[in-house]
Structure 1
């Protein structure tokens, strides 16, 4: 008896390069891989769509400005969102490891993200000024914590339920589907059939619904139970940092990944260079540029990273350096304020950003020993989370001298990150 429909089988065969190899899965997991593959795509696409609609870099920055929250609070958005989803993983990875089926951690995390997004929409409708800013940052912190649970559990479930050379195809395709939805949102922002604030708050609420739906679908995955891993105490968790000392490749990977954080932290400074402040027209263009970059690049990066995640990291570092360099040139010759100019730069930078994300995820899953995948992920995320907070503070300090200083620093770091990634071992074969 087949465990999945012909449709699931056909879709699976169409989307992956080698549907017949076992990909390192157990016999039981191989049999249900096509239906699991489809569920991964559906739940991850819902999550990616929600991510795009609650984009801290663009959408929430605009919303807080609209609510009059104050510049200081707006500067907290990206570091809270990025570091908050990475730092807690060292402490949650042990508890997740104790679960026989890790899919529950992701499903619950997704639902909590959804509830936090609905809370942000509710706050935006009822409060204004600095109080709204503080409440939204608090809800975003909860969302980021829930996201960290999803992030710490996802690679493990993906590794157990989708074969080795097919994981990039699943995550890349889901990213593209999610991006298509965000493009529709950008189109609405540009066309503006309703008041822009209504559109933005409606999008945040829709994200809440999408995350809840994604969690419900993920809970239906067929995941084999596995022996309960020993839960690590806090001191043991921190002791996992020894992996950085013991594994030179892991250390080099973390350095490369840390240098490539500019693609995540630079966009708010590009907004400043555009001198558009919150030019209403610019928001739609920037969201469109960001979503188009995701749509056009995620699938390609996904397939490329199945062949060589190392090369994806190198190329995305180079692309980030070129995009940020272009922003500096535009600012120097006085063209940064031209409508659409910075949107084009952001498009290039977001292509680099998605390359960094896809490359680092695939590289880590392929590099880590099977029984230490969660530990490698947690250690790498802890170090990069600290780097994000420090880099966020340092770039804010540099930006006091002028936004172009922060952009220049991120451009140099991206180029250096590509050079460090060049020295990594190939692990995709």
Structure 2
């Protein structure tokens, strides 16, 4: 039977990742939580690492897209994966946040959400093994929709709990460190697929989904041990009215409005990879797109960048957002140029060896910076009373934008994926410029 790490072991682990100084400084958290920081840091780290590994094994952009194709599901279903996952996880958050605020202890929301996500992953695996064609596709999409709703509750509750249990100096670090460990595990999965040690078969991918389900349940059990002081419960009633009223926060806080616009613009980064892969598929044949190499590139980028981005975000989430947006703009501009044939002089095209994996690598580094920068910024810019509302409002607006992202598919169909990538690059340029005007919220 596994033993809970001793206090000394927790302290050592905490010091390795944080250093000596921040453990003596508690910013914006209750005194009792301050004394429990090493324990809570390890709990956050372990639960996030498990849940993010599960996310990587169930990646809709790569893994589920390949699975639906292998099962013979209609092609249009592949196009529904990302909108269902992202919009479903973001849109309900305004109403969910009001309910979460009525709970003095909110970690149980995250625990329940992980259990639901794990159950959905196992349901997808069962559908893949027992069904095929449209029947399998509909079951997988339905399970993904339920998973997205659970993910929605987890997003709001975790940021709120994170803000109550860890000081400003450690929040980005715990997320970045957990992201690095999870990426190592997903990288191993990509290597096994890419080298042929794991067969690219429905059975193997279904097994990976089962592992993802187990990891989510493990994450729930670990997170249940978190020390969380009861918090304020104001604003927890009349969820719909509260949701409508929260839009007034954009008027009252210009920095929140700027941050929300930036977040919407930088959605270009996670939206881009499917269009990039589609360019390669149209040029070389969809079946020649190597799932293993793309999973490997994405995971390697996460390993090399997550911890660094997290540490930098603890110092200045504003600068991280500027840098991530700039890197995304460069990567997307290069992708558009190569897709348009402008790389011919260098012998580069979308079918050249490693071109698409390298571009996926660059965009994943940018996406990691964008995600860690924005999550750290929204937690640190708000006090405990408004943190859940800020998170839910920005997530809901992003969900609406993501729901409308189907227009980019229409643009790609009419004018080509190169045009979409160029538009995405321009969005990142504007996002970087606006991010430069954010306040240094870590300064306080």
TM-score > 0.5 by shorter chain: yes
Instruction: Describe how 1:174-185 pairs up with structure 2 within 5 A.
Output: 174-185=178-189
Assess if the C-alpha contact under 8 Å between 1:282 and 1:339 holds in 2: no
User: How many matched pairs?
Assistant: 426
Assess if the C-alpha contact under 8 Å between 1:282 and 1:340 holds in 2: no
Q: 1:363 to 1:84 in 2, by over 3 A?
A: same
Q: What's the counterpart of residue 256 of structure 1?
A: 262
- Note the residue ranges of structure 1 that are not aligned, 5 or more in a row: none
Assess if the C-alpha contact under 8 Å between 1:4 and 1:35 holds in 2: no
Deviation at 1:340, TM superposition (A): 1.8
1:344 is aligned to 2:349: no
Point out 4+ residue stretches in structure 1 off by more than 3 angstroms: 227-230, 276-281
What is the CA–CA distance in structure 1 between the aligned matches of 2:230 and 2:439, rounded to whole Å? 32
Q: What's the counterpart of residue 286 of structure 1?
A: 294
What is the CA–CA distance in structure 2 between the aligned matches of 1:327 and 1:172, rounded to whole Å? 27
Q: What's the counterpart of residue 16 of structure 1?
A: 18
More deviation in 361-370 or 113-122?
A: 361-370
Deviation at 1:279, TM superposition (A): 3.3
Assess if the C-alpha contact under 8 Å between 2:23 and 2:37 holds in 1: no
Q: What's the counterpart of residue 142 of structure 1?
A: 146
What is the CA–CA distance in structure 2 between the aligned matches of 1:320 and 1:69, rounded to whole Å? 32
What is the CA–CA distance in structure 1 between the aligned matches of 2:192 and 2:6, rounded to whole Å? 38
- Note the residue ranges of structure 2 that are not aligned, 5 or more in a row: none
* DSSP 3-state at the match of 1:19: helix
1:393 is aligned to 2:398: no
Q: What's the counterpart of residue 90 of structure 2?
A: 86
Q: Deviations over 1:132-174 (max 9, x none)?
A: 2121111101011000111010011111111111111111100
More deviation in 199-208 or 373-382?
A: 199-208
Q: 1:354 to 1:395 in 2, by over 3 A?
A: same
Q: 2:319 aligns with which of 304, 311, 322?
A: 311
Assess if the C-alpha contact under 8 Å between 2:318 and 2:436 holds in 1: yes
Assess if the C-alpha contact under 8 Å between 2:314 and 2:442 holds in 1: yes
Q: What's the counterpart of residue 252 of structure 2?
A: 246
Q: 2:242 aligns with which of 214, 236, 239?
A: 236
Assess if the C-alpha contact under 8 Å between 1:398 and 1:406 holds in 2: yes
Assess if the C-alpha contact under 8 Å between 1:190 and 1:281 holds in 2: no
1:408 is aligned to 2:396: no
Instruction: Describe how 1:21-32 pairs up with structure 2 within 5 A.
Output: 21-32=25-36
What is the CA–CA distance in structure 2 between the aligned matches of 1:232 and 1:388, rounded to whole Å? 28
What is the CA–CA distance in structure 2 between the aligned matches of 1:270 and 1:71, rounded to whole Å? 17
What is the CA–CA distance in structure 2 between the aligned matches of 1:420 and 1:24, rounded to whole Å? 27
Q: What's the counterpart of residue 209 of structure 1?
A: 214
What is the CA–CA distance in structure 1 between the aligned matches of 2:88 and 2:432, rounded to whole Å? 25
More deviation in 335-344 or 303-312?
A: 335-344
Q: Deviations over 1:207-229 (max 9, x none)?
A: 00000000110011111123433
1:74 is aligned to 2:78: yes
TM-score (norm 1): 0.97
* DSSP 3-state at the match of 1:397: helix
Q: 1:102 aligns with which of 100, 103, 106?
A: 106
Deviation at 1:353, TM superposition (A): 0.6
Deviation at 1:23, TM superposition (A): 2.5
More deviation in 324-333 or 80-89?
A: 324-333
* DSSP 3-state at the match of 2:24: coil
1:355 is aligned to 2:359: no
More deviation in 23-32 or 276-285?
A: 276-285
Q: Deviations over 1:336-359 (max 9, x none)?
A: 012321000000001011111000
What is the CA–CA distance in structure 1 between the aligned matches of 2:6 and 2:211, rounded to whole Å? 30
1:200 is aligned to 2:205: yes
* DSSP 3-state at the match of 2:217: helix
Q: 2:118 aligns with which of 114, 117, 120?
A: 114
Deviation at 1:367, TM superposition (A): 0.8
Assess if the C-alpha contact under 8 Å between 1:101 and 1:225 holds in 2: yes
Q: 2:332 aligns with which of 318, 321, 324?
A: 324
Q: What's the counterpart of residue 442 of structure 2?
A: 428
Deviation at 1:293, TM superposition (A): 0.8
Assess if the C-alpha contact under 8 Å between 1:309 and 1:360 holds in 2: yes
More deviation in 401-410 or 166-175?
A: 401-410
Measured on the aligned residues, the alpha-carbon RMSD in Å equals: 1.4
What is the CA–CA distance in structure 1 between the aligned matches of 2:370 and 2:114, rounded to whole Å? 23
Deviation at 1:201, TM superposition (A): 1.6
Assess if the C-alpha contact under 8 Å between 1:99 and 1:229 holds in 2: no
Deviation at 1:250, TM superposition (A): 0.4
